[in-house]
Amino acid sequence: MSEVMVSADPCPTEDALSTLLEYFIDPKLPSKSSARDTPSQLDQELVAKQIHAVVLLYNYYYRKQHMHLEFLGFENFCKLAVILRPTLLVHMKLMQLSDDAELDDMEKQLSLTEKKIMDACDIATSLDASKISPSIEGWPISKVAVFLIDLRKENCLLQFGSITEGVWSIIEQDLELSNDNSKGSIVSNEVDKKRRFIRKPLRNELGANDAGHKQRAFSAIKVATGD
């Protein structure tokens, strides 16, 4: 998979997505399934977490190297993913509805996997692969990440599968967003027009948050190292 992702000659969208699905999703899918099968809650959570990584890897990281490739929005990604992996359909609710179905609240019709796809598409859109570096001013902080190295700066600590199965990751710890931040988020009812508006924190809030984030980072290190 890594050879495909860094190749100077990009493969077509379908081949790139199929390769990512093969590595990240196939181990979590049954060999055969029907639309009447209901995955367990654990299986839904595992597939949703993996598909979130697939969306970001293709829509942002891979396209950042090959900008001529098509950006796959929520609907197009879901449709292509199901075509490439029919067994993924059991993790989709919206994709199983007929085109004539009337939806009062589309987000309530989404499966956990579809919600993760939508969220990752929004993130990829906001990051904007065409920019050298993304503008993240005003974004809420949802986790702390720790790059832990030794005193000689020759080795670092990575964990395999701790965030996304099949991937080496640095130490991460999720944060709970405060009520104030959550109030600053406004999400429209239309899926393809979703936008977020975040209230900027005050200076004294930043200081308090920094202290809390450092404490979370130290706690995450203790858990990861067993100290």
- Of 138, 92, 99, 98, the closest CA to residue 116 belongs to 92
Min mean pLDDT across 15-19, 55-59, 100-104 is at 100-104
pLDDT of residue 128: 92
What's this model's pTM, rounded to 2 decimal places?
A: 0.74
Residue appearing with tokens 């989404």: 110
Residue 162 lies inside a defined structural domain of this protein = yes
Structure confidence by residue, pLDDT tens digits, 25-39:
999 998 776 556 789
Residue 74 lies inside a defined structural domain of this protein = yes
Mean pLDDT of the chain: 80
Residue 191 lies inside a defined structural domain of this protein = no
- 64 and 151, same domain (yes or no): no
Residue 136 lies inside a defined structural domain of this protein = no
pLDDT of residue 212: 82
Is the distance from CB of 168 to CB of 99 less than 8 angstroms? Answer: no
- 168 and 64, same domain (yes or no): no
User: Total structural domains in the chain?
Assistant: 2
Residue 66 lies inside a defined structural domain of this protein = yes
Q: Which residue has the higher pLDDT, 80 or 178?
A: 80
Q: Distance between CA atoms of 157 and 149, rounded to whole angstroms?
A: 6
Phi, psi (deg, nearest 5) at residue 98: -75, 155
**Domain containing residue 216:** 143-177+199-225
Span 66-73, average pLDDT: 94
Residue 158 lies inside a defined structural domain of this protein = yes
pLDDT of residue 161: 85
Q: Distance between CA atoms of 189 and 125, rounded to whole angstroms?
A: 18
Residue 194 lies inside a defined structural domain of this protein = no
